[in-house]
Structure 1
C-alpha cells in the first residue's frame, strides 16, 4: 500500500512542487492539499493520511497549532517543513509532537526518504537542526536528572530503548545495539511513548537526555 500524504503550505507554487515530487516517488500518494492549518486539520480528519507535510507560517491556524491537533487526535505523523530554522519554531514543533523538522531547501530525494522514515516510526531532523540541538545540550549547564511521571513503569528493556532514543539511534541501530529485532524495537518504542504520555520519539529523545538515560547502553 502507498504512503498517504497530506501537503499543507500556504504558497501554491511550493505546495505544487511538493506534490509533484511526492507523487513521482514510488509508494507515495498525495491524497490532499491545504493552504492553512484549519484546512489541514479538516482534511486530515476526512482523509486519514499517514503523513502530513506541515508548513509553520500559515494564515489563521498556524502549522504548530495544527500539528498539536493532528497529534492529539492521532491523525498520522507530522513532518514539519519550513523556510525558517528559528529555535522557537524547532522547539515548538517538536513539543507539539512533530515527528520531524526539515527545511524547504531539502533535496527531493531527502524529502522522499524523510516521508518514508517518518511513516516507519523514525524521527527526522535536518542536519542544521540536529547540530543546533546538540550544541544546545553541549553548552547548557548539565541539568539535574529528572524523574518524569511514568518512568518507573518502564521495564528494564524499555528504559534501554529510551536511552537509545536519547542518542538519536534509528530502529535498526537500536536493534543492533540491543540484539533484538526491529519489530520488537517498534513495539518497545510504542510502549515507551504510551507510558510516558509522549507524542513522538523526538520528545522521548529529549526526555532521555533530561533524565540522564541517554548513553547508558554504550
Structure 2
C-alpha cells in the first residue's frame, strides 16, 4: 500500500495497486483475437479445400497406399480435447477469483499441449514419405505443420497467462486476458477436429 504525502496540513492519500487489464468483455483484445481467428480460420479453410480438390480430381491416385491410421492420431486427439477441458476449468476458476484453479488449469493445458506436440512429431517420424514425396505428403505435412505451429503459439500464450496468474494479476472481475487466451486455445483444438476428420477419417470413407 503506497503512502503519498501531500502538502503540510493535508490528509494522506492511500493508493492501492492499480487493476491490471480490462473488466469483462470490454477489452479491446477481444476484437484483435476475433480478427486473428477469422484470418487463421481462412488459412486452414484454403488448405483443407486444396486437400479435397486433389482428392476429388485425382481418381483415387492422390492417397498413399497405406491409409492414415488412428493408433497415434486418435489418442492425440483426445489429449488435445482434454487440454481444452483443463483450460476451460482454469478459466472458470478465474471467474471465481481462484488463483489456484486458474494456475492448475493453465498448467494442465500446457502439459497436455506438449504431449500432443510430442505425439505428432513421433507420428511424423514414422511416415514412409517426406514433404516432397507427393502432393498428398506435401499437403499432409503443410496442414499438420501449420496446426502444430498454432499449438506451440497457444502453449506460449498459456505460459504467459500462467506466469501472470502466479503473480496475482487476475481476480474475479479482471481476467479478460485469460478469457481471450482461452478462446485462441479452443480455436486451435476445433481446427484440429477439422484436420483430423479430413486427413484421418475421410480416406476410410471411400
Normalising TM by the smaller chain, what interval?
under 0.3
TM-score (norm 2): 0.27
TM-score (norm 1): 0.26
Query: Looking at both structures, which has the greater relative contact order when contacts are Cα pairs under 8 Å and sequence separation is at least 6?
Result: 2
Flag the structure with larger Rg.
Answer: 2
Higher helix share: 2
Higher strand share: 1
